[in-house]
Amino acid sequence: MVDLESGKSGDRRAEILALATDAFLTHGYSGTSMADLAGAVGIRKASLYHHFPSKHDLFVACVSEGFLGALKRLEDIRDDPNLSDPDRIRAAMEEIYRVNTTTVVGRMAPLIAEVAPRIPEVARAFYDGFIARHYGLLTGMIEDGIARGCFLPVDAVALRQLIIGPVVFMQMEREITATFADGEALVPIRRIRESHISMVLQLLTGATPAFGDVAKD
Amino acid sequence: MVDLESGKSGDRRAEILALATDAFLTHGYSGTSMADLAGAVGIRKASLYHHFPSKHDLFVACVSEGFLGALKRLEDIRDDPNLSDPDRIRAAMEEIYRVNTTTVVGRMAPLIAEVAPRIPEVARAFYDGFIARHYGLLTGMIEDGIARGCFLPVDAVALRQLIIGPVVFMQMEREITATFADGEALVPIRRIRESHISMVLQLLTGATPAFGDVAKD
DNA sequence: GTCTATAACGAGATAGAC
DNA sequence: GTCTATCTCGTTATAGAC
């Protein structure tokens, strides 16, 4: 992340972006003040305005630059010739789980939904650059498998919703229950992930997996 | 909605709650000011404080009273002796779609996720009173069907996520794309709903539905 | 129960020294 | 590039008349 030439400049900007993204995700757009952000970075509020002309611009940068590169691995999975069609879907779903549960990008959808009426430009960028491209990649993998005769002729549009929807919702549940003492136990994501993948593959191939054979986590 | 006895008292409170709920859902908690709300109701800002002691209390009332009664129809479906197990799941899913797409309650999850760090009491109330009870009802229906031999021994916890997740996510997409000129076409909820229900029933019964036989919407 | 008026505070943003 | 100091405005909330 550090600029190789100077090792200094551009560093602060990236640091601010990372901290701001996390703050926006946690407290929402209106719930995050420039003073809060400055405090997190360790500088004064006025200094933030040296790096970004306004809160609005800072937010737009967080979102637009936040999902850059998040689809790279998914594209690699789509183009990997060594994967069978079911293995490709499995790998794609594991990647989607990884991005949504371990990076900030996957947590952005609820935030964007909140600011969409006031900052439509960011909603458009997020939908076109992240959601729609996810859809394109997933339906592509599904339809290729169908064309090759490896998958049943399922409704690819509906199935992509069945793939992404539960992941996003579970991450949202995690945030809702994060303050609970028993929060972790309420949403056993890793166990559900295995069943989720099995079910999607079953819909695609018609094969019935061994239902008792679920990861214990 | 009008109080039958007086036609006056208690009415304002309900009116404020309804308008405030909608505003909170659209603009978030911090994004909604008491002045905005007063304007929507048609009274002055100070008059709001006659009905609710603070913005915090107003918000808590919106959420806590918002999901009251939202589970009634789902409980009726669970207890309806005239429904077969597959028809029960179908009816429950249609009800979940209805609540999420046509009432304010279903849109609450992202809002709660935003305020959860600051207002944990409301997160707890929403999770216990709405999400967890949905889960209880759904897993109950699924496990009853399994016990009766009508359903395959699926992972009920994972399947309930496959039922609810896509619905919540699609509603969130709707809000993200609401400002787009082509927003409606991007998320064809009604068409996807039919495929979604078919897929869940396929997972439960093992029966392969006619895939071409999808509602045109 | 609603109003006008105002207090008390925090927000985003700017000016200018260093 | 960061600082102190400040401007201006919007925010929650209260006081007290009607």
Tens place of pLDDT per residue across chain A (217 aa): 434 344 445 689 999 999 999 999 999 999 999 999 999 999 999 999 999 999 999 999 999 999 998 899 999 999 999 999 999 999 999 999 999 999 999 899 999 999 999 999 999 999 999 999 999 999 999 999 999 999 999 999 999 999 999 999 999 999 999 999 988 888 899 999 999 999 999 999 998 765 444 444 4
* List of chain B residues whose C-beta atoms are within 8 Å of the C-beta of residue A131: 173, 176
pLDDT reported for residue A210:
54
CB B163 within 8 A of CB B96: yes
Residues 6+ away with beta carbon under 8 Å from A77: A83, A88, A91, A92, A95
CB B197 within 8 A of CB B203: no
pLDDT reported for residue A217:
45
pLDDT reported for residue A118:
93
CATH 1.10.8.50 fits A9-63, yes or no: no
pLDDT reported for residue A93:
98
CB contact under 8 A, A176 and B203: no
pLDDT reported for residue A98:
97
Give the residue with greater pLDDT, A168 vs B186. A168
Residue B10's nearest nucleotide, by CA–C1', is C1
Residues of chain B above pLDDT 90, percent: 86
Residues 6+ away with beta carbon under 8 Å from B125: B60, B63, B64
Give per-residue burial for B20-53: e unless 16+ CB within 10 Å, then b.
bbbbbbbbbbbbbebeebbebbebeeeebeebbe
The Cα B43–Cα B38 span in angstroms is: 5
pLDDT class of B183 with cuts at 50, 70, 90: confident
- For residue B161, pLDDT over 50 is answered with yes
Our CA dihedral for A16, A57, A101, B163, rounded to 10 degrees, sits at 160
The Cα A161–Cα A165 span in angstroms is: 5
Domain residue extents for chain A: 9-63, 67-205
pLDDT class of B215 with cuts at 50, 70, 90: very low
Residues 6+ away with beta carbon under 8 Å from B29: A28, A30, A31, B59, B111, B114, B115, B118, B119
Give the residue with greater pLDDT, B76 vs A1. B76
Three-state SS annotation for B72-109: HHHHHHHHCCCCCHHHHHHHHHHHHHHHHHHCCHHHHH
* List of chain B residues whose C-beta atoms are within 8 Å of the C-beta of residue A109: 110, 169, 172-173, 176
Structural tokens at position A181: 């003492």
Instruction: Evaluate if the CB of A54 falls below 7 Å from strand C.
Output: yes
CB A162 within 8 A of CB B199: yes
The Cα A50–Cα B90 span in angstroms is: 57
The Cα A41–Cα A37 span in angstroms is: 6
- For residue B217, pLDDT over 80 is answered with no
Question: What number of residues does chain A have?
Answer: 217
CATH pick for A67-205 out of 1.10.357.10, 3.40.50.1820, 3.40.50.1100, 3.40.50.10260: 1.10.357.10
Chain A contact probe: residue of B115, B119, B176 with most A CBs at under 10 A = B176
Burial class (CB in 10 A: 0-12, 13-18, 19+), A146: middle
CB A200 within 8 A of CB B165: no
DSSP 8-state symbol, B32:
-
Please report the sign of the dihedral spanned by the C-alpha atoms of residue B204, residue A155, residue A203, residue B109: negative
Instruction: Evaluate if the CB of A31 falls below 7 Å from strand C.
Output: no
Structural tokens at position A4: 């190789």
The Cα B115–Cα B95 span in angstroms is: 27
Chain B contact probe: residue of A22, A34, A55, A176 with most B CBs at under 10 A = A176
* List of chain B residues whose C-beta atoms are within 8 Å of the C-beta of residue A161: 166, 169-170, 192, 196
Chain A contact probe: residue of B172, B182, B205, B211 with most A CBs at under 10 A = B172
Distance of alpha carbon B64 from its chain centroid, rounded? 13
**By CA distance, what is B182's nearest residue in A?**
A124
pLDDT in tens, B16-59: 999 999 999 999 999 999 999 999 999 999 999 999 999 999 99
- For residue B5, pLDDT over 50 is answered with no
Three-state SS annotation for chain A: CCCCCCCCCCHHHHHHHHHHHHHHHHHCCCCCCHHHHHHHHCCCHHHHHHHCCCHHHHHHHHHHHHCCCCCHHHHHHHHCCCCCHHHHHHHHHHHHHHHHHHCCHHHHHHHHHHHCCCCHHHHHHHHHHHHHHHHHHHHHHHHHHHHCCCCCCCCHHHHHHHHHHHHHHHHHHHHHCCCCCCHHHHCCHHHHHHHHHHHHHHHHHCCCCCCCCCCCC
Type of residue at A95: E
Give the residue with greater pLDDT, B217 vs B135. B135
Q: Which residue is nearest to nucleotide C6 (CA to C1')?
A: B46
Instruction: Evaluate if the CB of A32 falls below 7 Å from strand C.
Output: yes
CB contact under 8 A, B180 and A214: no
A114 → closest Cβ in B28, B152, B180: B28
Q: Phi-psi category of B176—alpha, beta or left, where left has phi over 0 and alpha has psi -120 to 50?
A: alpha
Structural tokens at position B49: 């404080």
